[in-house]
Amino acid sequence: MKVVLSKKLFISFSGIFLFLVCFLLINPAVHSQVVNESTKKKVSVGIGIYDDIMMNVPSGIKTRVINQGIHVYALYNLPFGKSIYGFSIGLGVSTHNVFGNFLVNKSGNSTVLVKIPDTVGYKRSKIALAYLEVPFEFNIKTKGKFQAAVGFKVGYMIGSKEVYVGDGGITTFNFSSSTPTKIRVKSLGVPNIDQFAYGPTLRVGYKWIALDCYYMLSTIFTKDHGPDIYPVSVGIAIVPF
């Protein structure tokens, strides 16, 4: 049994990410013909994969150790004269996933995460989020190819969904199943998600690969209308140019 409940538009970026990865990393003709030395100095394009470590998880709720996410971004670089220091600002898209032993429900006008009963078997239960982001940073790039950047980014939520795959006999704020038959539920538009996300960023690396970190200062849900859960993202960024 497959059930799809639609509340608002959710944009899937997996295809876009795959296209960009192939376009930037596999096609050498693009690098040689379009991305000349002048462009490389002015524009940086990055692709990152990371793990979201969930903080302030409600009591009784457990999130998965690996909550994979991905982001792509382009930065316009403004060097400080001929020094190794500079400032960059750009645009990006990121996705975050919260896997756990919970279902999304409502209590009054607030969103709550309810533990899946031990008698219910399930394969996957998660919240997925997508943000359009504006990152900016102060960076250093040495002649020895070492790079480091400290910055901040602000994101606007452009899509959210809840996915559940497992036994029936469950009830959420917008779905109820009375039979134990295996089901797959996709609910588009998780209630009370904060429209904005923001926090500091850090990137340290060598040549085209770097350690990439993001600490979300905001919470996933709006204040007083959901749990105070937020991610700390740690991963790897690939910056081919």
Tens of pLDDT, residues 137-174: 999 999 888 999 999 999 999 999 999 999 988 877 76
Determine the pLDDT at residue 1. 43
- Tens-place pLDDT, residues 170-196: 877 767 777 778 888 888 889 999 999
Mean pLDDT of 57-80: 95
| Six-digit token string for 201 | 């960023």
- Mean of the per-residue pLDDT values of the chain: 85
Nearest in space to 146 (alpha carbons), one of 208, 231, 206: 206
Residue 30's pLDDT band (cuts 50, 70, 90):
very low
Domain ranges of the chain: 2-238
| Six-digit token string for 207 | 């040549």
Would the pTM count as exceeding 0.75? yes
Determine the pLDDT at residue 10. 45
- Tens-place pLDDT, residues 82-123: 899 999 999 999 999 999 999 999 888 999 999 998 888 999
Residue 4's pLDDT band (cuts 50, 70, 90):
very low
Asked if residue 187 lies in contact with residue 7, where contact means CB atoms within 8 angstroms, the answer is yes
b or e along 79-104 (b: 16 or more beta carbons within 10 Å of the residue's beta carbon)?
A: eeeeeeebbbebebbbbbbbbbbbbb
Mean pLDDT of 7-35: 48
